[in-house]
Structure 1
């Protein structure tokens, strides 16, 4: 089972005392998350001011530093429109990422404009794509286009747990009938993060956790850091095994 630590997401600097933003913070946090049991990392690159960025001059140094000093686990980067709101400019930025410092994979949200073209570009560049599927309609896009993906991230965004669960079940049902055979990961956010993680464990799916998804432990207490979140997820996974 894959346990992905999502370290920062699109949260603003200062949203949590331990949210890693700078490159030094990300490197340190990554080592601690992997030591706690994470088997892969998901990052949102940040510029010197702390804003999300897909600029080559941000992504290149991040990946070079992680290759030299980071933990030896796969690294995925976001391509969400939260990091670059113009889909055509996003395509251009990703096209200009330097080959020696490409990530192991990237996440691409199927509901976002330009997603299919971006996946074809990444496939040409031999960067693995994890398809972000937030809705049944996004699952239909994945099935209809047959774009090459190495994983499917089922990501219900509903605030209420039961609503998120219904959405996830509908997506997974459709993927079971007609979707790609790629491994699936299920996760929620904030109030649904831990319930979705437990649902994923019960279904034998991959999991992810980190300050991108929630800043709280299952009991509602504020999490100390990403490592604490990962350690609790690992404990839940061991108990479910």
Structure 2
């Protein structure tokens, strides 16, 4: 499965064509799905580009994107950078009126179990974000929710293209000691494409998009999610060898 992560916590200073509004997110998701993405992950944002879990904003974004990509799962973030207090994050999740299909929970962040509990109460699937270089894998495997998530996001935050695959292998090893749901392996910045190739070789789910990388596999600047998805689909079809 190839997921598109259409915007992330970037802003327009970093990426002038980053989709921010509900309409922009909907159009970018539609185009990415047409190019071959099978799942959508996004960050709802306030007008100034700040990530938010506000129920009204989440409702408008999810409604618009879902209408643009009917039948395609749509997920959002619950990252602590949007709302640092985990109890408040859980409260906001319980206040959502239009529910995404899934939401990511980062297990290195304080209060991950509180947010996971709130999502499960609402019937929202959990993507368990496990960052490399943190204690997230151990914390997740010790969590009572570790067998109740939709998938694990094995998130390689090593930006060095020469070391990111080894970092990815270490992270996968840390997750291998217990029964677990499917893994989506992805990298970021300079590590994004080498880790995607590794995911293709291993037959794992993966993702690509402007959240993770702002350049194509050949190093050219990506002016949207479509060229990233197109390149990822070609690499997946080639088993990572293209």
Indicate whether 1:156 and 2:132 are aligned.
no
Aligned length: 237
Contact 1:142/1:179, CA 8 A, preserved across alignment: no
User: Which range moved further: 44-53 or 200-209?
Assistant: 44-53
1:14-43 deviations in Å (ceiling 9; x for gaps) = 422321111111111111000100000000
Q: Structure 1 residues 115-124 or 227-236, which shifts more?
A: 115-124
Give the structure with the higher percent helix: 1
| In the alignment, structure 1 residue 109 sits paired with structure 2 residue 106 | yes
> 1:5·1:208 contact (CA, 8 Å) conserved in 2?
yes
Q: Which moved more, 1:14-23 or 1:204-213?
A: 14-23
- Asked if the contact 1:53–1:84 (Cα under 8 Å) also holds between the matched residues in 2, the reply is yes
Answer whether contact 1:30 1:71 (CA < 8 A) is retained: no
Task: Give the secondary structure class of the aligned counterpart of 1:33.
Answer: helix
Q: Which residue matches 2:225?
A: 226
TM-superposed CA distance for 1:120, in Å, is 1.4
Within 5 Å, give how 1:79-98 maps onto structure 2: 79-98=78-97
- Alpha carbons of 1:36 and 1:69: their partners in 2 closer, same or farther (altered >3 Å)? closer
Corresponding residue of 2:206: 207
- More relative contact order, 1 or 2 (CA 8 Å, 6+ apart): 1
Report what 1:140 is aligned to. Answer: 138
Give the unaligned 5+ runs of structure 1: none
Name the counterpart of 1:170: 170
In the TM superposition, 1:1-241 aligns within 5 A as 2-98=1-97, 101-135=98-132, 137-147=135-145, 148-180=148-180, 182-240=181-239
What is the CA deviation profile of residues 149-208 of structure 1, one whole-angstrom value per residue up to 9, with x for unaligned ones? 11001002123234433332122123222241x110111111000001001111110110
Query: Structure 1 residue 110: deviation in Å?
Result: 0.4
Q: TM-score, normalised by structure 1?
A: 0.93
Distance in 1 between residues matched to 2:11 and 2:66, nearest whole Å: 26
Deviant stretches of 4+, over 6 Å: none
The answer as to whether partners of 1:36 and 1:230 remain within 8 angstroms in 2 is yes
- Distance across 1 between alignment mates of 2:143 and 2:16: 42
Aligned alpha-carbon RMSD (Å):
1.6
Write the distance in 1 (CA, Å) between the matches of 2:42 and 2:117. Answer: 21
8 Å contact 2:209–2:225 — kept in the other structure?
yes
**What is the rounded CA distance, in whole Å, between the counterparts of 1:52 and 1:226 in structure 2?**
19
Cα distance in structure 1, aligned partners of 2:36 and 2:49 = 27
Point out where structure 2 has 5 or more consecutive residues left out of the alignment: none
